[in-house]
Structure 1
């Protein structure tokens, strides 16, 4: 397949910065707008048909994605549809405050003549990234489309790994709890305690780093590293950055008064990964300071997990 489908590191970085700037502008302007829900996501062509996003995959443009929801009576309705741009991204905006707990995103139509138009992945649930004033920002997990046959260079053939199939059945969706209001900052040691696992919100210990922090993190750390493994990283500037950044991300999800909101954590991670090593180290230290609480005195308050 032609290399024109791949994006360079600089192009990936430009895309990440542009998305972050757009989200930041939206967040600052939302106070003056009516209530709105925004859903975004990305569609990739899974060329190896292994059911996951890898370095050989590319963004799939022109794919129609539907935002569907199930009512209390079990009836499924499509709220909105959108097509992916040339970078595989789609956006949907809904007025008001609709209930998104039973909603998901799903590929419904392939572009005509697509080289990756054999099948599409099953539906993917929505994650609440942040809630600010009148704006709720959700992201959907990556959707995968697949060619009829896996590429010849793939180690795993289509017959070895079951291909996901599209399904109208809504997945189990759990809306992340609203962050508790008591001021709290927890270190990576706090987040690795077994008794605190129930306090992970939006993401889970087995969530991939690449999915949580985006494409720049995928370039740096690969696509298999989990957030739980990231919290145990040490001995290297970028492992330290990821460890502290992961703790900061968990703090931002779990507490409305944490020094950095979720969008800021993601943005600072992206800039640190794309900058010089010195900047990565400085950002790691900033995250560490925030995770330790005001005055570097750890003030970690997490709800007690039931046994």
Structure 2
């Protein structure tokens, strides 16, 4: 039996199972992320970070053309939000915006974003929103372009001539040596395969995410539909033998590497996005994405694994 035919059989079985389970229930889901745009440049950069506790509102126009808030949700620790609408309402003319909340960014939300339909299947709809931004009152001082040149020096009169027989000054003591800067491993290129992340002596490198966190919380709703709501990252990083478990193992490893090294081949958001796109595609897409993660986790043969045993 050839591979395309097997893929069609698997897809047909999945569609039949989904129809049997979800055929009598229609829901619309809206998902997205809120970031702090520290440089106020209107885009996501390395200086920006997800915001926790921000309120996001979905606003839609009624028959009179007046906009009203249909639903409001608060972002989680990863800056993500998810809204569920019962039935299949018409969300084509709706948009999402930051409506309030803390988060530590300091100011009001950025521009609103329109909802984009990702897929519609069995009366179930999934919408996504481009990243929403919250901006401070002024760009941070470390942002590119925020440097202000120093004012020109004032012209001072020439100093008076020295005395005829000046008294000699004592020599200055030697300057103390400058302290050595501490190592910054986050700025060094590092990539570690999945078996390194499962070793007990390297458990301290699980910093942003922990082994007991749920796959559904970290990767979102699409991953929850595939792997359930109880699977942890520790279970996911040890998966093998199945294309989807292999994808989860390599995606979890790539996410850990992206948080551990700024020079890793993937950004954390890129890992999550590619993971969800693969889950919505074919089995070939799943294997291709898993292979890309695996190559990055190996450092492409150039970046070593810079792990030191935890103390």
TM-score, normalising length: structure 2? 0.49
Q: State the structure with bigger RCO (CA 8 A, min sep 6), 1 or 2.
A: 1
- The structure number with the bigger radius of gyration is 2
